[in-house]
Amino acid sequence: MQPTRVRYGMILLAMLVAVLLYLDRVCMSIASKSVAADLGINSTELNWLLGAFFWTYALGQLPAGWLGDRYGARWMLGAYVILWSLCTGLMGLATSATILLVLRLGCGLFEAGAYPVAASIVRRWVPMERRGFASSVIAVGGRMGGALAPILTIQLMFWWTFGDQWFSIPKDSVAAITSWRPVMMLYGILGVLIAILFMWMFRDWPDKHPLVNAAEVDLIRRSDPPRSNSETSRAAPPILEMIQSWPLWLNCFVQFASNMGWAFLVTKMPQYLEDVHQSGQQDQGWLQSLPLLAGIAGLLLGGLFTDRLTRRLGLRWGRSIAMSVSRLIVAFAFLGCLTVDTPLKATLFLALVGLATDLGTPACWAYGQDIGGSHVGSVVGWSNMWGNFGAALSPVILGGIVAQFTSVSAGWHVAFASCAALNILAAVAALGINASRPLRRG
């Protein structure tokens, strides 16, 4: 009997959720100038508003992973999508910075469920030797959403502001566009529809899906069978074991350093392009999309890279080398930003940051799936939590560094050099990660 291929459809469903995840995550940084003008928010308050998302996103990772392990992805991920979509839509009705902050914190808390639960989908639906690539496919959805967000958000805002005349407005004649509220409401409605589609089509286990045959179930479980057909993690997350795992801490640091630099692309890049290179708002949308589009190539190559290394060198080096090499390339790209004098050249180096960051992402994900057992969601959530503390601090720290200098260009040079140094440290730390040692209780 030939195995059915329903597993591919389940990964594509998770990928669609990831598209929405980043569309809703990135849209606020794109609209931030208009939001700040509308609600009277100063630059310091805006830095904290952009970073606030990542605090609740980080803190929500571990409980979200456990809930996904405990109750399954079908209902938990569907509920998370509905909740963060409602927060996104309601941002369009915000009348003050405080309300917007609360809703943004809500978005972070509920979006925290996406990737830890998606990791459990990969573990339950994909054979071990293909998990790196499957993880990269889901993450590609996130980068597609992130690349689409700047272009789509800017164009929708222009369309709602100027109607049918939006395409004839000179780029440099518009100081700010104001119609950011309808865009947020549109994204909220879209998210609810995607959640309904996911819950209708997805099943938590291959043998529970009506379109899966026995041959596909056997193929999925052959290399890494669960303890039973209904394996779930009803116990609390293995927090003590995670705290005691030195390789897991190294993985957390790698993700922290990665997100510290990468979050710049989705929070502060428009400000950098305007402050240093005087690019217009429409140009910023297209330029900001390039690093996220480059990330798509990085994810696909990274998934193939770590899987190939794992088959040749084993789990120990298959994961750690992929992480280490990617961090070194990120450091080189940030240092390259110190040499440029045009927005396009700067964007090309930042595109290399996006590509190289995502070159190591599949290995980070696969590491949690390799060692997590029935606690995959909790383990991936733990690492993502520490990684997203880096993302939360990124706009505050980088913005603070720039503010210390009278020359904006000099401030950004120091900020980029700091990101490069942090990624070099992460490259060294990655060599100590060992995915061949499972995390066990007791």
The distance in angstroms from the start CA to the end CA of the chain is 41
Q: What DSSP character marks residue 236? A: P
Single out the residue of 153, 138, 141, 49 nearest to residue 102, CA to CA: 49
* Rounded average pLDDT per 10-residue block, the chain, 442 residues: 89 92 84 83 78 83 81 90 94 89 92 84 82 81 83 82 59 56 92 94 90 88 56 66 88 92 84 77 69 84 86 87 94 93 88 92 83 77 85 85 86 93 95 83 45
Angstrom distances, CA of residue 182 to CA of 29, 39, 58, 188, 381: 16, 16, 28, 10, 33
Cα angle 12-79-216, degrees, rounded to a multiple of 5:
35
Separation of alpha carbons 389 and 258, rounded Å: 11
What Rg, from alpha-carbon coordinates, does the chain have?
21
> Is residue 288 within 8 Å of 30, Cβ to Cβ?
yes
**Dmax over Cα atoms in the chain, in whole Å?**
70
CATH number of 6-207+214-222+235-430: 1.20.1250.20
Give Cβ neighbours of residue 220 (< 8 Å, ≥ 6 apart): 7, 124, 125, 126, 127, 206
Per domain, the residue ranges of the chain are: 6-207+214-222+235-430
d(CA 303, CA 133): 4
pLDDT of res. 399: 85
Whole-angstrom distance, CA of residue 48 vs CA of residue 68: 30
Contact indicator for 61, 51 with CB cutoff of 8 Å: no
Is residue 45 a contact partner of residue 174, using CB atoms and an 8 Å limit? no
Give the pTM.
0.74
Contact between residue 202 and residue 117 where contact means Cβ atoms under 8 Å apart: no
Q: How far apart are CA 94 and CA 185, in angstroms?
A: 11
Query: Tokens representing 190?
Result: 């879209």
pLDDT at residue 39, rounded to an integer = 85
Report the alpha-carbon angle 67-70-76, nearest 5. Answer: 50
